[in-house]
Amino acid sequence: MEYKIIYDKLKDFISEDRIKINEPMKNHTSFQIGGACDILVLPRSQSEIKKIIDLCRENQTPFFVMGNGTNLLIKDSGIRGVVIKLAQNFNDIKVDGNIITCKAGVAMSAISRAALENSLSGLEFANGIPGSVGGACVMNAGAYGGEMADVVKKVKVMDFEGNVYEMSKDQIGYSYRKSSLQKGDKILLEVEMELKPGNYDEIKSKMEKCMSLRRQKQPLNMPSAGSAFKRPKDNYAGLLIEKAGLKGYSIGGAMVSDLHAGFIVNTGNATCADVEALLNHVKKVVKEKFNIELEPEIKIRGN
């Protein structure tokens, strides 16, 4: 194995059950697509993350940091080097008054439940959003009138030299589905959110409404990476794609959802190449018909 020295050194400070060799990335993305990575590691602490990065840098080994993989499409050839997954092992939550602080690997569904349990309003929109708080914070995920920028107060990050520091909301620089955290030059460790005291029953009702709308309008029963395209100005990607006659259109195992044209789904055997070809075809047809350039929301990574 090309990275055996990395594997052996990882075992010095991480238990073997949290290190995977030649791990199929389709097992770690909601799209259920992607070739294998050389090594996948599941850190539990900030110190472990620093040690992993130091090890990779010392050995000139590429590394990639991911959350729950719900907005991610991995190439069919996989990912070389080390994948650092901040998910189920990196998921502490702390509530202090109307402030919720959590590790980046906390699931969005878990953080919305924590807010509800403490009668805190502001994260109702997050109910049913797949993925981790870290990924949602980086992408400024949102739905049904809410987004992460509404609640994030500050974040804790680590740069690739191992320096840990805080960034304020202004420094993050949020806009629609964008933030400075997308530059990929730092790792999001922790998020602090400021919510508002609310009524438990009202918060629960809003959460249930958001979930009901998702079930009605989104293809939750099929593997996907959520919305395939960002919303263009004064329009809707799904509506444009449907008007272009592409609802149900497929290439290989990838299909424009026949429930919501804003989603591309894996019908069972889709490859990354299928999805990329379909994304490009949809972009081309929408541009030809409406002179609108669609921007993919899905992040594509790999070799």
Catalytic machinery residues: 177, 227, 297
Spatial CA neighbour of 88 closest among 51, 128, 42: 42
- Residue type present at position 225: A
Q: In what order do the strands lie in the sheet with 152-159?
A: 93-96, 99-103, 186-194, 152-159, 164-168
Residue 130 DSSP code: -
Determine whether 69 is exposed, middle or buried from the number of CB atoms within 10 Å of its CB (0-12, 13-18, 19+).
buried
Which residues make Cβ contacts (< 8 Å) with residue 243, sequence separation at least 6? Answer: 289, 290
- Residue type present at position 254: A
Residue 211's alpha-carbon distances to 70, 112, 218, in angstroms, are 17, 12, 10
Report the alpha-carbon distance of residue 190 to residue 154 in Å, rounded: 9
Residue 274's alpha-carbon distances to 258, 285, 298, in angstroms, are 17, 17, 14
Element (H, E) at 133: helix 133-139
Pair of tokens at residue 283: 């972009």
Residue 230 DSSP code: P
